[in-house]
Every structure is written in C-alpha cells, then in structure tokens.
C-alpha cells in the first residue's frame, strides 16, 4: 500500500464518519494461531538434536576410556615381559632362550609370557591351541609351512597364547607385545629397538590382528 492510498483511506474514512481506530483494525494483518502439529515437530526435533549431541559426547568419552585402558594393559604386559627376562640368573642363561613375548586379552585383561621352544609338540599344547593354529596355517604342529623357516608351534607367541587359552581366552582375541631377544634385554628397564624380533610369517598369519 502506497502513502497516497493510505492518505486516501484516511480522508475517505473521515468523510464516511469512520474512526481511525476502526480503520486501523481493518487494515492490521491477521495473526494466525500456531499449528499444534508443527509446534510438536519442532519440539521433537530439538529433543532429538539434544539427544544426538549427548550420545556423541558419551561415545567420544567411552572411546577415550577404552583407548586409555588398552594402553594401560599393554604397559602391564610389557612390564611383565621385562620382569620375566630379568629373572634369568645371568645374561648367558637369558641367551639360551631365543625369543620371549607377552600375550594379552583386552576383554579379560589377562596377560601371559611365553618363550620359544624348539621341542614343542601337539601333546604339550592345549587342544584348542592346536586346533586354532593348525586351522590358520593348514599344517600340523611341528611341521613346516611353505612360507616360514620356523616349525609350526615353536614360536614364543604360541607358548604365550596357549597359557591364555588354558584360562578360557578365545584364541582369535589374543594380541602380543613386541617379541624380544632375552640376552639383549637382560637387566634392562626399557625395551631396546635392537632387541625386538619381528613376528615370523607363521605368527603373522595365525594372529593377523597381533596388536
């Protein structure tokens, strides 16, 4: 509406004897009552958004707590490994063991330390250990695979895992610390990079989610 239209309406109203108050009511915009359905949807959307933010924050906090617990478990496993190595009476005695490693289970928090053993056999291992390792590698305990120079079952990982399996841990859940050469770690307080032995092909296939 232009200024001219408004002026015309005012003069017209005066001529007709109509009060300006009545004119204002007639020209004022009509207020619509809020739709209760729309209002309800808005409130629901606000509630959902709040719940989503709270859930996201809870999940982030939970993931941080899980990561912190895992790091603490790995730390304890490494310490158990070092303590086991330092129990050897001398460096020469430590040198009689080729490899030593700690196994752990994040679900139960259980830890076990094992060492390599060239004289291992299926009879000395838990039946579940034998079944799992042989299924993963496709050969029997004590035999050779086509991709590794170590006889199946002789590695420290099998020894450590076998101890956890005897305690009811699911074989596929088992993870490991670094495998170490005891003679290079005897009486050491921290893991030395030069003492770390990479996992062999057999162990990498048997436990692909090693760490």
Residue-level pLDDT at 23: 47
What is the arithmetic mean of pLDDT over 18-43?
65
Q: Which residues pair with 103 in a beta bridge?
A: 112, 176
Determine how β-strand 179-180 pairs with β-strand 196-197: antiparallel
Does residue 122 surpass a pLDDT of 60? yes
Flag whether the pTM goes above 0.75: no
128-168 pLDDT per residue, tens = 999 999 999 999 999 999 999 999 999 999 999 999 999 99
37-91 pLDDT per residue, tens = 888 888 888 878 877 777 778 788 888 998 999 999 999 999 999 999 999 999 9
Half-sphere exposure of 64 (CA within 13 A, CB side): 6
Task: Take residue 78 and report the two structure tokens written for it.
Answer: 């490494």
Q: What are the sequence ranges of the domains in the chain?
A: 59-206
Cα 30 to Cα 17: distance, rounded to the nearest angstrom: 24
DSSP state at residue 139: S
Average pLDDT along the chain:
87
């Amino acid at each position: 509406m232009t200024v001219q239209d408004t002026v015309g309406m005012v003069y017209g109203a005066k001529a007709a004897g109509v009060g300006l108050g009545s004119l204002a009511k007639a020209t004022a915009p009509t207020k619509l009552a809020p739709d209760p359905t729309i209002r309800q949807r808005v409130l629901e959307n606000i509630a959902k958004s709040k719940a989503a933010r709270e859930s996201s924050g809870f999940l982030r906090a939970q993931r941080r707590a899980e990561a912190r617990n895992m790091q603490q478990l790995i730390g304890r496993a490494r310490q158990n490994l070092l303590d086991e190595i330092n129990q050897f009476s001398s460096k020469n005695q430590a040198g009689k063991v080729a490899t030593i490693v700690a196994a752990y289970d994040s679900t139960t928090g259980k830890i076990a330390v094992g060492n390599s053993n060239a004289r291992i056999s299926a009879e000395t291992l838990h039946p579940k250990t034998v079944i799992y390792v042989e299924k993963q590698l496709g050969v029997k305990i004590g035999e050779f695979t086509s991709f590794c120079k170590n006889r199946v079952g002789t590695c420290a990982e099998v020894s450590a895992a076998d101890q956890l399996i005897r305690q009811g841990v699911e074989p596929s859940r088992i993870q490991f610390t670094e495998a170490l050469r005891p003679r290079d770690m005897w009486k050491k307080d921290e893991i030395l990079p030069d003492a770390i032995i990479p996992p062999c092909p057999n162990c990498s296939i048997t436990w692909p989610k090693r760490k």
